[in-house]
Structure 1
Amino acid sequence: MELSELISIILRRIWILLIAVLVCVGAAAYVSYFHMEKEYEASASMYVLKSNKTPSNNLYQELLAGSSLVKDYKELIKSKTVLKQVKDQLERSHTWAAQMTVEELSQKLEISNKNDTHILVAAAKDASPERAAVIANQVAVVFIEYSRQITVDESVQLIDAAEAADAPSQPKPLINMAVAAVVGVLVGLLAIFLQVQSQRSTTARRGKKPLEFS
């Protein structure tokens, strides 16, 4: 089948393609706006640098030590020991924290090392923008104190506290609809191909010469 013939077949059945795209985009829009729970994200950033009480003339060694700490802290910050303290402190001033388990708290958190720097970012996600900010900030506060206990110095410093987001991070209706449109095109093309194949098979079984599709 030549390209020109393929394009001609698609154009004659463009309505199938349009219906498939409209159905997929419409379904994505409906689910995104009416069935997907909104999720807000807030993040607190911390700077990690090994800072001994005794002065050091070797800044390079301090930077290397800080890099090593960052890797360790990424794991420690989501440990049960730290998150249990976070939960306990949240319960003192927020009734909703009592209904949340340590495992659920862990699922709300994402710890990242920004661009392989000495900056640790604790991001919290929640259906409430205020709760997301409170959780992220509490994680930062608790972990800074915890880091001082295990390193006996101030190796972690808060850079930016988390603030309540104005817009949800999820869902993203426009992105969902764009992906759905692509899926709709693929579904439409498949439907056209199956229809063409079905018509050709019917014509062949009847022993007739294949007709040009209209």
Structure 2
Amino acid sequence: MEETISLKEIFQTLKQRWKLLVAIPLLAMLAGTLVSVFVLTPKYERSAELLIYQAGTEEGVTQNDVRTSLELVGTYTQIIKSPRILNDVIENGNLDYSLSTLQNMVSVTNQNNSQVLLVTVEADKPEEATAIVNEISTVFETQIPDILSTDNVTILSEAVVGENPSPSSPNTILNMAIAFVVGLMGAVGLAFLLEYLDTTVKSEKDIEKILDLPVLGVVSTMDAVEPTRKSS
């Protein structure tokens, strides 16, 4: 019975503060939208693919060659973001970025243990992201023979700007959803805080809790009625 009463009180509190529960999440969602559109700088991603292969023998490419190429993928991932490669990229492209900044802009992934590396660059403009990732691919392909004394990298596909490019971030829809959820949680917490701080007596149950005494009777609310005069 006590649990049922507690649940009733919870729902009653939420019902009484419904305007708060509606207004705060909507305002938070509006704020998240405005921040995403007018405050956060749009970022654009462009990617290029590199194929890592092992030169085969006269009999063709063996399973050993494929295994060796896969083992080199992890090494090549580190080399792509190394100063040896990126410093040349900065110099060739006259980029106004430090080495550490450019390293943070670059990500290298290898999906499903394939021999293909996906090099991705995130920048403020799609043209810039395209130019940087293509330059990284070119420099890497050129430098690998000197670094590892092997020529087993080829550019599988270069990045293109594309028509009407859309930013990869910020994700306005996601930010709106997060702001709404956070706003709703804050509104619920505020509703219970206001209820806790509210010391007004609203019902006979409140009196029982405060005085720890049973209520013997309740006086109903009476509307004031003007007395009518008797006709003489």
Q: Same fold (TM over 0.5)?
A: yes
What is the aligned partner in structure 1 of residue 127 from structure 2? 130
Give the Å deviation of 1:177: 0.3
What is the aligned partner in structure 2 of residue 24 from structure 1? 28
Higher relative contact order (CA 8 A, sep 6+): 1
TM-score (norm. length: structure 1): 0.85
Secondary structure of residue in 1 paired with 2:160 = coil
TM-score (norm. length: structure 2): 0.79
Check whether the contact 1:50–1:69 (CA below 8 A) recurs between aligned residues.
Answer: no
Once residues 54 and 32 of structure 2 are traced to their aligned partners in structure 1, the CA distance between those partners, rounded to angstroms, is: 49
Once residues 153 and 144 of structure 1 are traced to their aligned partners in structure 2, the CA distance between those partners, rounded to angstroms, is: 10
Q: Does 1:75 align with 2:78?
A: yes
Secondary structure of residue in 1 paired with 2:63 = helix
**Map of 1:4-15 to 2, 5 A cutoff?**
4-15=8-19
The one-character-per-residue Cα deviations of 1:123-143 (angstroms, maximum 9, x if unpaired) are 111111000000001101111
Q: Using a 3 Å threshold, how does the CA distance of structure 1 residues 56 and 103 change in structure 2: closer, same or farther?
A: farther
What is the aligned partner in structure 2 of residue 173 from structure 1? 172
Check whether the contact 2:55–2:61 (CA below 8 A) recurs between aligned residues.
Answer: no
Over the matched positions of the two proteins, sequence identity in percent amounts to 25
Once residues 83 and 59 of structure 2 are traced to their aligned partners in structure 1, the CA distance between those partners, rounded to angstroms, is: 34
Give the Å deviation of 1:57: 5.2
Check whether the contact 1:44–1:136 (CA below 8 A) recurs between aligned residues.
Answer: yes
What is the aligned partner in structure 2 of residue 160 from structure 1? 157
* Structure 1: runs of 5+ lacking an equivalent: 92-96
* Structure 2: runs of 5+ lacking an equivalent: 211-232
The one-letter amino acid paired with 1:11 is: K
Secondary structure of residue in 1 paired with 2:119 = strand
Secondary structure of residue in 2 paired with 1:71 = helix
Once residues 57 and 70 of structure 1 are traced to their aligned partners in structure 2, the CA distance between those partners, rounded to angstroms, is: 21
Q: Does 1:140 align with 2:137?
A: yes
Q: For the aligned residues, what is the CA RMSD?
A: 2.1
**Map of 1:33-112 to 2, 5 A cutoff?**
33-51=37-55, 54-55=57-58, 59-91=62-94, 97=95, 99-112=96-109
The one-letter amino acid paired with 2:151 is: E
Check whether the contact 2:43–2:170 (CA below 8 A) recurs between aligned residues.
Answer: yes
How many residue pairs match? The answer is: 200
Once residues 131 and 85 of structure 1 are traced to their aligned partners in structure 2, the CA distance between those partners, rounded to angstroms, is: 16
Once residues 9 and 171 of structure 2 are traced to their aligned partners in structure 1, the CA distance between those partners, rounded to angstroms, is: 38
Give the Å deviation of 1:22: 1.5
Check whether the contact 1:10–1:192 (CA below 8 A) recurs between aligned residues.
Answer: yes
Give the Å deviation of 1:158: 1.2
The one-letter amino acid paired with 1:195 is: L
Once residues 112 and 159 of structure 2 are traced to their aligned partners in structure 1, the CA distance between those partners, rounded to angstroms, is: 19
Once residues 199 and 36 of structure 1 are traced to their aligned partners in structure 2, the CA distance between those partners, rounded to angstroms, is: 40
* Worse overlay, 111-120 or 144-153: 144-153
Give the Å deviation of 1:76: 0.7
